Structure 1
Amino acid sequence: MQPHFFYGTLCHPPLLEAVIGRVPQLVPARLEGFAPHEACREGQGLGFPILIETPGAVTRGVVADLTEAEAERIAWYEDGYDAEIRELETGAGSREAKLWLPQADRWEVGAEWTLGDWAPKWAALKTEAARLFIAEAQAVGPDAANARYHAILVRAASILRARAAPMAQDLRRDLQDGDIKIDAQQTAYAKFFAVEDYKLEHRLFAGGMSAKLDRAAFVSGDASVVLPYDPVRDRVMLIEQIRTGPLARGEPNPWMIEAIAGRVDPGETPEEAALREAGEEAGITIARLIEAPRYYPSPGAKSEFVYSYIGIADLPDEAAQLGGKADEHEDIRAHLVPFERLMTLVATGEAGNAPLVVLALWLAGQRAALQRMAGVA
């Protein structure tokens, strides 16, 4: 057995169980000369700690004895850290254990970190992500899984939102235990997105179970879409950018007219994502979000779920500009379009994507009320 010292998120027993498959005996211990601080990137907390050498400081944690296989899983999970053997103090005296220290200059150093502050925001998300990570590491290797860790976090957050707020059920089948049987699930492809193969059976409407089916799902995270609308000027902001989907289909011109959109990042709400994307893609501030339909755009093959909003905004002529995040290689042009032209774009098919069509039709139904609220109708 190999003793390991945990001082951060792995002190949370459900997360440790998700990584190694069990909760071992956890013995309280302390490490002198180090303090835990939150790891950050570009000033944003990443939801886990790093140890910083600090004279006089004490880091409290736990020691656990792990098997060789369990220690290997910990090594998969501790990407960006280097293992060292250090002497710790426990209630039974001193002992040596392996701990993980951050690689030099890997992350920025944030505020001091405590498990109690971390747990309310991150515990459920990081635990779900750990389960997904270990499954992917076993399927495609730990290096490939670590390269996709942000995407894994995005998916974990989507799973938690789906559980917390499932779709309404009135007309649909009343799901019972045993209605779906998944015989096998494999990851066929995993990079920015993933493709999963399923072998499954399901309950038939006529009774009994289906034959064994071979199905695939294109797995991506939840997305937020916002259509900025200025009720005083009665116009919207649209963005334009090149899109790989139309290019792959053979569309002669793959530049698309769209609403502002982006993935919901780990640790943020769909509303926060919509506001963030409005700033990143178009450089504008949304004054108020009005919830529009939520939906699966292509449920036969994709796991993506869309949160959509009308965003009340001030849209003067100078609001239209070039935008996008350079580090994500986004090249975006904004257009200010009168409402009537928006509906023409929908009618001609130039606004040829579901999120924009849904929001345009939703705005058509809300437009008069929004103008009355703005005092212009």
Structure 2
Amino acid sequence: MSIHHFFYGTLCHPPLLHAVIGRVPDMQPASLCGYRVREACRDDVPLGFPVLEALSGATAQGFVCTLSPREAERIAWYEAGYNAQDLDVVQEGASLRARVWLPGAGHWQLGAEWSLAEWRPHWGALKTEAAAQFIREAEQIGPEAANARYHSILVRAWSKLAAQAQPMPQDLRRSVQDNDIDVDSQNIGYKGFFLVEDYRLRHRLFAGGFSDTLNRAAFVSGDAAVVLPYDARRDRVLLIEQFRTGPFARGEPNPWMIEAIAGRIDPGESPKQTAHREAMEEAGITLDSLIEAPRFYPTPGAKTEFIHCFIGLTDLPDDAGRPGGVEDEGEDIRPHLVSFDQLMEMVQSGEAGNAPLVVLALWLERMRDGLRAKA
């Protein structure tokens, strides 16, 4: 049995609706009396989607379309946090009963009036990519588990868009052609804060033809920004120390690591914005300016993580830095002010034993004389 739906928000964006149900149905303009469309917010921060607010005399504009039961089920997966109600909407002057998704009580705050035209250039690509990933995960691990991972899904979508917008150069590497990679299956092997995906695929060989079918796994995490704060006048840097699960699981006797400041890039955020935010969150310092350093995949054989590195020029007096971290994320961070020479000694000894810090230390060594001369 077909079901009429009234959409007033992001599902009015045809590419996003296609990502959710697999097609773009016939969408006819319609209106819902007694409601207006508002921005959903949390802690006064817009979340990139709207909600309906009951308001006498108001009218919410949108579209009506007819969906199959299977398509309606996918819409229900995507609209977690909303409640479905069948209401009368107006289409071409006639009343029509349609399913409308209203916000659940207490889920979100109400922000400014919402506009699809204003939403589309800022959020459209991100939310569409995230919707497609959400449906893929919901079909494998269930909609409840996929909704619990939705922020991580947004992070992954933002990283994918960044990879497409600024791909790695290919001056020496082979140029990729269509159909160079044939994916037979892509399945979720583990779900949690991160994701592990199992692939069966073939790829083009340098000598021509294709490889045998390969079983491969990828640890899926988002892009990250790493920044090494440097005071050129005092010739010192600020490092942080924190417990790390990776060294602990490997059997490292002391799993507290010396690192540069780092953090995952949030959806809608640039790598530079992340670097500034993390410097304040993790060490309580403000960076004056950023110098771009190498960007890279630290473990391309198994991880999707991509790292953007920066030298952060700043003032680091003796009292610079404070213990930091986001408590809700279980972070417990201690800052250290060290001289450039001590940093390089730790690189030599191995105590600065993580790739981003080593890369940044060597990059700083390369630029240090010029930075000190300017200071």
TM-score range, shorter chain: over 0.9
Q: Offset at 1:295?
A: 0.2
SS in 1 for 2:319: helix
Residue segments in structure 1 that go unaligned for 5+ positions in a row = none
Task: List per-residue Cα deviations over 1:158-203 (Å, max 9, x = no partner).
Answer: 1111111110001111222232111111111111111111111112
Matches within 5 A, 1:219-368: 219-368=220-369
In 2, distance between residues paired with 1:55 and 1:336? 60
Say if 1:351 and 1:205 are closer, same or farther in 2 by CA, change over 3 A.
same
Provide the residue aligned with 1:81 in structure 2. Answer: 82
**Structure 1 residue aligned with 2:171:** 170
Q: Distance in 2 between matches of 1:298 and 1:337?
A: 28
Amino acid at match of 1:179: D
| Structure 2 letter corresponding to 1:56 | G
Q: Map of 1:88-127 to 2, 5 A cutoff?
A: 88-127=89-128
Deviation at 1:88, TM superposition (A): 1.2
Q: What whole-Å deviation, never above 9, does each CA across 1:41-82 have from its counterpart, x for those lacking one? A: 222211111112222222111111110000000000001111
- The Cα offsets for residues 2-46 of structure 1, whole Å up to 9 and x where unpaired, read as 011111000000000000011111111111222222111222211
CA distance in 2, matches of 1:369, 1:54: 62
C-alpha separation in 2, matches of 1:238 and 1:106: 39
CA-to-aligned-CA distance 1:210-233 (integer Å, 9 cap, x gap): 111111111111011111111111
- The match for 1:55 is 56
2:208 is equivalent to residue 207 of structure 1: yes
Structure-2 separation of matches of 1:26 and 1:309: 47
* Deviates most, 30-39 or 361-370: 30-39
Residues in 2 aligned to 1:80 and 1:332: alpha-carbon distance in whole angstroms: 35
Q: Which residue of 2 aligns with 1:138?
A: 139
Whole-angstrom CA distance in 2 between matches of 1:176 and 1:327? 45
Q: Distance in 2 between matches of 1:47 and 1:119?
A: 10
Greater CA deviation, 140-149 or 94-103? 94-103
Aligned equivalents of 2:229, 2:109: Cα separation in 1: 34
C-alpha distance in 1 between matches for 2:368 and 2:53: 54
Structure 2 distance, partners of 1:193, 1:254, is: 20
Q: What SS does structure 2 have at the residue aligned with 1:116?
A: helix
* More divergent stretch after superposition (207-216 vs 173-182): 173-182
Superposed displacement of residue 98, structure 1: 0.8
Q: Secondary structure of 2:71's partner?
A: helix
Q: Give the secondary-structure state (helix, strand or coil) at the position aligned to 1:184.
A: strand
Distance 2:314 2:87 in 1: 56
CA RMSD, aligned part only? 1.0
Instruction: Report deviation, 1:114.
Output: 0.6
Helix, strand or coil: the match of 2:252? coil
Q: Please give the per-residue CA displacement for 1:215-267, whole angstroms capped at 9, x wherever unaligned.
A: 11111110111111111111111111101000100011111111111111111
Distance 1:203 1:242 in 2: 41
Q: Distance in 1 between matches of 2:274 and 2:79?
A: 28
For the residue of structure 2 that corresponds to 1:317, the secondary structure is coil
Deviating above 6 A after TM superposition, structure 1's stretches of 4 or more consecutive aligned residues are none
Write the distance in 2 (CA, Å) between the matches of 1:345 and 1:45: 43
Report the CA distance between 1:316 and its aligned residue.
1.6
Shift of residue 373 of structure 1?
2.0
Q: Distance in 2 between matches of 1:231 and 1:38?
A: 45
- In the alignment, the residues of structure 2 paired with residue 315 and residue 57 of structure 1 have an alpha-carbon distance, to the nearest angstrom, of 55
- The sequence identity of aligned pairs, in percent, is 63
Q: TM-score normalised to the size of structure 1?
A: 0.97
Alignment partner, residue 25 of structure 1: 26
Residue type of the partner of 1:171?
L
1:40 aligns with 2:12: no
8 Å contact 2:240–2:258 — kept in the other structure?
Answer: yes
Q: Distance in 1 between matches of 2:183 and 2:249?
A: 31
SS at match of 1:319: coil
Q: Which residue of 2 aligns with 1:217?
A: 218
Deviation at 1:372? Answer: 1.9
Instruction: Tell me how far apart the structure 1 counterparts of residues 264 and 238 of structure 2 sit (CA, whole Å).
Output: 19
Q: Alpha-carbon deviation of 1:278?
A: 1.0
Cα distance in 1, alignment partners of residues 179 and 19 from structure 2: 25
Distance in 1 of aligned mates of 2:109 and 2:306: 32
Are 2:285 and 2:321, in contact at CA under 8 Å, matched by a contact in 1?
no
